[in-house]
């Protein structure tokens, strides 16, 4: 959710909450799979998914795919 309550004009920095879980964003990062701005907890979850993909031989094929892969369906 973008509120525009911060002093930054860049939407990445102006965003107050994680696109994925809604948590406050004291630290933020772009999702590896989508263009969502996510918190570090959601980033950690994505790291687990990336490691599982690489363990199955899927290197960077899912990067920027537009959705978060689901275990059992996508890998």
Give the model's confidence band at 45: pLDDT under 50 very low, under 70 low, under 90 confident, else very high.
very high
Contact between 39 and 18 under an 8 Å Cβ cutoff? The reply is yes
pLDDT in tens, 13-41: 889 999 999 999 999 999 999 999 999 99
- pLDDT of 1 higher than 80: no
DSSP per-residue codes, 22-74:
--B-SS-EE-SSSS-EE-HHHHHHHHHHHHHHHHTT--STTTT-SS---TTTT
> Please, which pLDDT band fits residue 10 given cuts at 50, 70 and 90?
confident
Q: What is the mean pLDDT of residues 59-66?
A: 85
pLDDT for the residue numbered 68: 93
């Amino acid at each position: 959710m973008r509120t525009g309550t911060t002093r930054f004009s860049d939407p990445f920095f102006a965003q107050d909450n994680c696109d994925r879980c809604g948590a406050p964003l004291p630290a933020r990062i772009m999702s590896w799979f989508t263009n969502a701005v996510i918190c570090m907890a959601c980033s950690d979850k994505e790291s687990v998914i990336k490691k599982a993909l690489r363990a199955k031989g899927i290197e960077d094929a899912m990067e920027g795919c537009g959705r978060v892969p689901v275990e059992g369906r996508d890998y």
